[in-house]
Every structure is written in structure tokens, then in C-alpha cells.
Amino acid sequence: MAALVSLLRGINLGPNKRVRMEDLKNIYESLGLRKVTTYVQSGNVVFECGKSDPARIAKKIEDAVAKNLRVESRVIIRSADELRGVIKRNPIALDASRNPRQLQVFFLDEQPDRKAIDSIPNLYSGTEEIEVIDKECYVYYFDGIGRSKLNVERLLKVVGTARNWNTVMRLAELAAQIEK
């Protein structure tokens, strides 16, 4: 059985789109997904699933969340192997001078166009370090994410959802536990 990680976009960030993780877990289980584990209150769910198309699973989850919780949210799925690859390919060095919470990984629903990636330096001149690899955009926020004017989705013209490095590492650990 494969371990998958789903990331819900934009829930629990403000007064709208509030979702209890217990409700989310119940929805996943009602869809026949097994070993469902949520992580922090921001729409991270790790689960086990037989061989199935991740895009189809994401659509089922989106539809069930909309129907049962009346919340519209995109769902982006990565396999445990893909998540390990995201960690391995991290191009932004973390050392004692850098806070892992300031490194965000944007999980994109599709690979951005090469033109969009190449245009980043011409369209954005903030202090962030930005690297795009495949369907992930790694951003280190030197001044913190709260002060940044960077809009990754607008720059790359794709939908995505971000998680800080500590969360990415923890989700990989949870996925590995499910695979055992």
C-alpha cells in the first residue's frame, strides 16, 4: 500500500474556511482511505491508499470536503517517495544561521512553464531566495513570510500551497511510519 500526503490549500488561515482536523479525518475514512493521520491545524493529511490515480483521489477529497464541510479547497497530493525527493532536492542550504520555519515549500498542482520560472528575476525583486524544481517552489524568507510581497502563484501562474520546512520533514516522517 502506498502512503500519500494531501495538502489542502487555504484552510484555517483566517475566519473563513475553518475545518476541524477530526472532521477532515472522518471524511478521508468515509472515502475508504486507511491509516488517516492529520498534522497540525492547516490541512495536512497522511493516509494509505491502494494503487489509484492521485489526481482522482484529490478530486474525490475536494468534492467530499465541499459537500460535507461546505468549504472549497484545492487538494494537492504527493506520494511518500515524491516527498522524500522534495527533501533530497532542496536547493536552499539550511545552516545554523537560517531558521527552517522561514523555508517554505510551495507544492504546485502542475509544473510551471519555463518562461514563468525564467521571468522571476525580472518580475520580482524582493529579498527572498527562490528556486523552482519540478512541481515545487522553495522560498527562503530572510525577513519572514509575514512581511513579504511575494506571490508565488501569481509569478508562476499555477495553483499551490505552502508548508514550512519543519512541516515538510514531519509529513515525510508520518508517511514513512504509514509505509511500515
Reported as a single tens digit per residue, the pLDDT across 18-45 is 899 999 999 999 999 999 999 998 899 9
On the CB side of 94, CA atoms within 13 Å amount to: 17
Across the range 54-72, mean pLDDT stands at: 95
Q: Which CATH superfamily is domain 2-84+169-179 in?
A: SP0830-like domains (3.30.70.1280)
pLDDT, tens digit (0-9, with 9 covering 90-100), for 106-160: 999 999 999 999 999 999 999 999 999 999 999 999 999 999 999 999 999 999 9
Q: Give the integer Cα–Cα distance in Å for 148 and 169.
A: 23
What are the backbone angles phi and psi of residue 138, rounded to the nearest 5°? -95, 130
Q: Give the integer Cα–Cα distance in Å for 65 and 72.
A: 7
pLDDT at residue 3 greater than cutoff 80: yes
Across the range 55-71, mean pLDDT stands at: 95
Beta bridge partners of 46: 5, 37
All residues at 6 or more sequence positions from 142 whose CB lies less than 8 Å from its CB, including other chains: 102, 127, 128, 129
Question: For the range 14-19, what are the long-range contacts, defined as Cβ-Cβ under 8 Å and sequence gap of 24 or more?
Answer: 17/71, 17/72, 17/73, 18/71, 19/43, 19/65, 19/69, 19/71, 19/73
Cα–Cα distances in Å, from 140 out to 94, 102, 127? 9, 6, 9
All residues at 6 or more sequence positions from 173 whose CB lies less than 8 Å from its CB, including other chains: none
Across the range 70-96, mean pLDDT stands at: 96
> How confident is the model at residue 11, as a pLDDT?
87
